[in-house]
Amino acid sequence: MYDVTIIGCGIVGSAIAYELSKKKLKCLVLEKENDVAMGATRANSAIIHAGYDPDEGTLMAKLNVRGAHLCEKLCEDLSVAYKRIGALVLAFSDEDVLTIKKLYKRGVSNGVEGLKILSHDETKAIEPNISDDVKASLYAPTTAIINPWEYALALAETAAINGVEIMLDSEVTDIKKMSGGFALTAGGKEFLTRYVINAAGAEADAVHDMALPHSFNIVPNKGAYYLLDKNEGARVNHVIFQCPSKAGKGVLVSPTIHGNLIVGPNSVDSEPDDTTAGADDLYFVRSVAVKSIPSIDFRANIRNFSGVRPNSDRDDFIIEAHGGFFDVAGIKSPGLASAPGIAEYVISLMEENGAVFRPKENYVSSRKQVRFNEMSHEERAVLVKDNPLYGRVICRCETVTEGEIIDAIRSPIMPRTVGAVKRRCGAGLGRCQGGFCEPRVLEILARELKVPIESLEKEKSGSYIVKRRED
Ligand SMILES: Cc1cc2nc3c(=O)[nH]c(=O)nc-3n(C[C@H](O)[C@H](O)[C@H](O)COP(=O)(O)OP(=O)(O)OC[C@H]3O[C@@H](n4cnc5c(N)ncnc54)[C@H](O)[C@@H]3O)c2cc1C
């Protein structure tokens, strides 16, 4: 019998698994997809929000500020790329100026440090490509950018190294209350567990309903993006927002952690698995973004994608105890920024509800990754001398070597798809989007996993890439 079972391995499930892996207990994560971070965690703006946006007194406000505070050190310990570049919220009208003043006050009351209102000239001085129509801005220096799936993978891998079992392709389809715990059905097997944590993102209402009377609805909401080539990556220096509205934080323009430019998202209600980025979505994004930065060159687009927000019919995160069943649901933005704060909060809630956790000795608290493209020539020479596979560049856009691809394939949560390799080492993330390196990655993956190449998939189950010729 497991002590704790977490359903869903997005950033929330991963962060909770990471925190629980510091304790002496038997912990299981059941994830329905073939990799970690395949839901909202894979496709979002990748911003560690400072915490001025959520209403005072909400869980979102408290956990955003706490999560953002914990994030930098976590990223340093777990070798996750993180840059604190700051954000600007632009005001184009007198009404917007009132809004940014309100956000300033709210941020101060939420405990956000360093907020300032900047004049037009001060804004232009630090962000020269911004529209001349900007009257003023709110400056939030603690806002950061990150690689969201690397963050989730780092947390989940560290949890796995510390003994948490992570089972992929394991969709929970039934939950039965029994004496002293629950029986879960997933992937045709039964798992007995004392406590259940529901971190199932856009499907958290369906998972809740398997165990308890219906009490909330997830209202999935899609947001589409442009990802522009690195030659547009320096168009802005900060995360550039417009004033938020009921629909959310609006269309932003930001450098990404990899040096590209991200522009988006829009906001439309959708199905939980609708990740299409249609012409209407993209037209909207483009037309709103140029209001902030008129000079964006959208011809440099290398990819469009969409993510689905697990919004709910409540105004806050839903983090609740029901006996031994814990909902961690409706984790909309700023869920990525809040995740480590959410994990701490869930553990204290479990303790308040009778769980007793003892710390684990010999806990492994750090993770090291080889990133060839960030090394000096001297460091590269040492690495290649030791293992010549680090001298064979497979992805030329991002300078990812065969050595790094093999490290990724042998990592604690073994990747089974080309997309999963990409998320672990960056092969295929660049300008050509895998056009050149994907066949080589496929060969290496097939060789290392000792499986036929035609059995390999690009992303979700069924997305096969190669078909054997029938002569
Ligand atoms: C367009 C967009 C922009 C955003 N921008 C930001 C941002 O810049 N900053 C920020 O802080 N937040 C942002 N967010 C919000 C953030 O992405 C989410 O809050 C966060 O990813 C939610 O994580 P999660 O783990 O709850 O959900 P998910 O990542 O969706 O994970 C849930 C997991 O549960 C699994 N699952 C579902 N049902 C089952 C089942 N029955 N059995 C087993 N597994 C199951 C799913 O496969 C999935 O892997 C954005 C979101 C979107 C969509």
pLDDT, tens digit (0-9, with 9 covering 90-100), for 358-416:
999 999 999 989 999 999 999 999 999 999 999 999 999 999 999 999 999 999 999 99
Q: Which atom of ligand 1 is nearest to the CA of 42?
A: 29
pTM, entire model? 0.96
Query: Model confidence over 245-267: pLDDT tens digits?
Result: 776 778 999 999 999 999 999 99
CA 10 to ligand 1 center in whole angstroms = 6
- Ligand 1 pocket: which residues have CB below 6 Å? 7-13, 30-33, 38-41, 44-47, 49, 171-172, 199-203, 207, 223, 265, 307-310, 331-337
Q: Which atom of ligand 1 is nearest to the CA of 221?
A: 53
Residue nearest to atom 21 of ligand 1 (CA): 41
Residue nearest to atom 27 of ligand 1 (CA): 201
Cα–Cα distances (Å) from 94 to 1, 104, 127, 135, in that order, read: 60, 15, 21, 8
Q: Which atom of ligand 1 is nearest to the CA of 67?
A: 11
Residue nearest to atom 4 of ligand 1 (CA): 44
CA 42 to ligand 1 center in whole angstroms = 8
Query: Model confidence over 424-460: pLDDT tens digits?
Result: 999 999 999 999 999 999 999 999 999 999 999 999 8
- The pLDDT score that the predictor gives to residue 200 is 98
- The pLDDT score that the predictor gives to residue 247 is 67
Residue nearest to atom 15 of ligand 1 (CA): 333
CA 215 to ligand 1 center in whole angstroms = 20
Q: How far apart are CA 309 and CA 319, in angstroms?
A: 17
Which position among 49, 208, 238, 258 bears the catalytic label?
A: 49
Residue nearest to atom 41 of ligand 1 (CA): 172
Give the start-to-end residue ranges of the domains of the chain.
87-141+221-309, 372-455
CA 246 to ligand 1 center in whole angstroms = 20
Q: Candidates 16, 19, 32, 346: which one to mutate for ligand 1, based on the most atoms within 8 Å of Cβ?
A: 32
Q: Which atom of ligand 1 is nearest to the CA of 170?
A: 43
Residue nearest to atom 3 of ligand 1 (CA): 44
Give me the residues of the chain with pLDDT under 50, please: none
CA 342 to ligand 1 center in whole angstroms = 13
49 catalytic per annotation? yes
Q: Which atom of ligand 1 is nearest to the CA of 64?
A: 11
Is the CB of residue 100 less than 8 Å from the CB of residue 53? Answer: no
- The pLDDT score that the predictor gives to residue 245 is 78
- The pLDDT score that the predictor gives to residue 244 is 87
Task: Specify the CATH class of 87-141+221-309 in words.
Answer: alpha beta
Structure tokens at 384: 């290649």
Please write down the HEC assignment for all residues of the chain. CEEEEEECCCHHHHHHHHHHCCECCCEEEECCCCCCCCCHHHCCCCEECCCCCCCCCCHHHHHHHHHHHHHHHHHHHHCCCEECCCEEEEECCHHHHHHHHHHHHHHHHHCCCCCEEEEHHHHHHHCCCCCCCCCEEEEECCCEEECHHHHHHHHHHHHHHCCCEEECCCCEEEEEEECCEEEEEECCEEEEEEEEEECCHHHHHHHHHHHCCCCCCECCEEEEEEEECHHHCCCCCCEEEECCECCECCCEEEECCCCCEEEECCCEECCCCCCCCCHHHHHHHHHHHHHHCCCCCHHHEEEEEEEEECCECCCCCEEEEECCEEEEECCCCCHHHHHHHHHHHHHHHHHHCCCCCCECCCCCCCCCCCCHHHCCHHHHHHHHHHCHHHHCEEECCCCEEHHHHHHHHCCCCCCCEHHHHHHHHCCCCCCCCCCCCHHHHHHHHHHHHCCCHHHCECCCCCCECCCCCCC
Task: Specify the CATH class of 372-455 in words.
Answer: mainly alpha
